[in-house]
A and B are shown apart, each in its own frame.
Chain A
Amino acid sequence: MSFEQRQEGEFTVIEVEEARLDASIAESFKTFAFDLIENDKHNLVVNLSQVRFMDSSGLGALVAAFKKLAGNGSFSLAEAQPAVRDLFDLTSMDKLFTVHDSVAEAVKGS
């Protein structure tokens, strides 16, 4: 399975167990995140530590999950690797997403 979830206090951490979050799995990620949100998991942290490459479809899936929450909860990212951070900078997504250095930091206070 490409994605796993675990609970850290009030936060649900999505572990992306793939080196590439790209067009071939973007739809699966979206479905996984939407299912969590529809099951009342409204504080999501996406752990990107294993993701070495992301394309615009992978980015779009993150944005779709963020939009699905519609401000009702929180959505943040953790441990984005250099190529992924570069994509966030190039697309100004750093304005939209909070990117934490670690999952521990993202769930601090839970």
Chain B
Amino acid sequence: MSAMLSLEIDSELSNTTLMAMAVRGVCAMTTLSPVETNRLELCLVEIVNNAIEHAYENQAGQKVQVELELDDSLIRLTVSDHGKSIPQESLQPDAEPEVDPEQSDSWLCSGRGLHIVNKLMDAVSYQRIGDRNSFIMEKKLR
């Protein structure tokens, strides 16, 4: 089996759910467990939100695209925008600081998204071709 699905939303955070539900639907066709499906949804949402909030700085009226490629062994999600690129230092963040209940400095309110994605996906890459940024995530199917 090999399939490809292209999705596009306007750059508003309330639209991210549409992407998430569509990808969940595809996940239901695979061998992913419910926990793995939830985690894939989380990673997709983090990267789509990142495009809206950072690439487009929360400006509506721009396009965020997701391409989903599926075969027997892999699901690949490519999230693309035409806004500002993710800075290199953000792509390879330092190790996530240990949460210490005694140290309020460690109670971060933001900046966890990429850590989560790097932790959960099997492969992650980022590219800019022309004015198009693409964040590519892969999850192996077993």
Q: Are B49 and A57 in contact (CB under 8 A)?
A: yes
Per-residue CB proximity of B92-109 to A under 8 Å, as 1/0? Answer: 000010111100100111
Q: Give CA–CA (A37, B94) in the complex, Å.
A: 33
Instruction: Out of B13, B34, B116, name the residue touching A56 (CB < 8 Å).
Output: B116
Q: Which of A22, A64, A86, A96 has the most chain B CB atoms inside 10 A of its CB? A: A22
In the complex, what's the smallest C-beta–C-beta distance from B16 to chain A, in angstroms?
A: 7
A32 within 8 A of B: no
Interface of B is mostly: helix
A-binding segment of B1-9, B40-48, B64-72, B82-90:
B40-48
Q: Give CA–CA (A91, B117) in the complex, Å.
A: 11
Count A/B pairs, Cβ under 8 Å: 76
Q: Give CA–CA (A53, B120) in the complex, Å.
A: 16
- Tell me the nearest residue of chain B to A91, going by C-beta: B112
Q: Give CA–CA (A64, B49) in the complex, Å.
A: 19
Known contacts A23-B16, A96-B101; A63 and B38 CB within 8 A of each other: no
Q: Are A87 and B42 in contact (CB under 8 A)?
A: yes
Q: Are A22 and B112 in contact (CB under 8 A)?
A: no
Known contacts A24-B16, A60-B109, A60-B112; A55 and B38 CB within 8 A of each other: no
Known contacts A22-B13, A24-B14, A63-B109; A86 and B38 CB within 8 A of each other: yes
The 30 sampled A-B contact pairs (Cβ below 8 Å) are A22-B17, A22-B45, A23-B49, A24-B13, A24-B16, A53-B20, A53-B41, A53-B45, A55-B45, A55-B46, A56-B110, A56-B116, A61-B109, A67-B104, A67-B107, A82-B35, A82-B38, A83-B38, A86-B35, A87-B116, A90-B116, A91-B96, A91-B99, A91-B112, A92-B99, A93-B99, A95-B99, A95-B100, A96-B101, A96-B107
> B residues bordering A, Cβ < 8 Å?
12-14, 16-17, 20, 34-35, 38-39, 41-42, 45-46, 49, 52-53, 96, 98-101, 104, 107-110, 112-113, 115-116, 119-120
